């Protein structure tokens, strides 16, 4: 069974953390993973830096740029993660854009993910239709889940199609804007969370974009199986050491 499925069998609401590989420093990837696992985080999303991250807000864009300037590449990340499963047991997801995957070679990328122990991918610019018709068989061959994003503007028909072809979870984007931490959610977001919950989809949902504190986390998990924090965690890393990560997690739940 994929580790992601096992994690969703937990009765508790989940917390997933996103960070950019190679940020703040090139060699920080493994120490951050270890600190997050030790802090009780349920899942991690490792951002694969890209020079043109259109869906990301300023915080993640800047972290991606810094990681690239540090020398992070797809090959370097795979080298860093080669023996990661000796110590890291929680699900690991690579999140990035399709261009670096194609440049690396799609099947070769999938092979490396399987060899390392990556459980899934999130590729925001890979349309679900193209994935379903051209790549799903390949991803399934290497037991890689591919998670898709929905927004408040995604139609019910589209959401149900995504649900029908999805494994792992559906990434429920809290708003139609780019990534970024928010201090609170408004009625529009809560109505959206409630609407999707009432659809009774077969695939679990995690809420992302805008989760930054205990208040937004609690509102997100009221209608979903968990939440994802990215920008707020990256901002924390820029001001604190890796050893302080447990303090950040304690402020969320």
Tell me the chain's radius of gyration from C-alpha atoms: 17
Clarify whether 190 is annotated catalytic: no
Clarify whether 140 is annotated catalytic: no
The one catalytic residue among 28, 42, 56, 119 = 56
The one catalytic residue among 5, 28, 38, 45 = 45
Annotated catalytic residues are: 45, 56
């Amino acid at each position: 069974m994929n580790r992601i499925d096992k994690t969703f069998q937990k009765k508790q609401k989940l917390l997933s953390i996103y960070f950019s590989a190679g940020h703040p420093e090139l060699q920080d990837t493994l120490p951050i993973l270890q600190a997050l696992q030790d802090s009780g985080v349920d899942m991690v999303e490792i951002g694969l830096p890209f020079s043109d991250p259109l869906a990301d807000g300023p915080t993640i864009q800047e972290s991606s740029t810094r990681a690239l300037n540090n020398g992070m590449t797809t090959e370097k990340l795979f080298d860093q993660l080669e023996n990661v499963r000796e110590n890291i047991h929680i699900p690991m997801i690579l999140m990035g854009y399709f261009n670096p995957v194609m440049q690396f070679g799609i099947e070769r990328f999938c092979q490396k993910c399987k060899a390392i122990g990556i459980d899934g991918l999130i590729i925001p610019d890979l349309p679900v239709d193209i994935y379903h018709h051209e790549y799903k068989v390949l991803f399934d061959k290497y037991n890689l889940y591919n998670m898709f994003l929905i927004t408040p503007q995604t139609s019910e028909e589209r959401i149900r199609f995504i649900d029908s072809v999805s494994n792992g979870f559906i990434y429920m984007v809290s708003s139609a804007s780019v990534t970024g931490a928010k201090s609170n959610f408004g009625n529009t977001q809560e109505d959206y969370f409630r609407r999707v919950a009432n659809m009774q989809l077969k695939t679990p949902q995690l809420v992302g974009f805008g989760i930054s504190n205990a208040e937004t986390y609690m509102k997100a998990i009221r209608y979903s199986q968990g939440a994802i924090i990215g920008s707020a965690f990256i901002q924390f890393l820029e001001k604190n050491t890796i050893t302080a990560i447990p303090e950040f997690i304690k402020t969320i739940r």
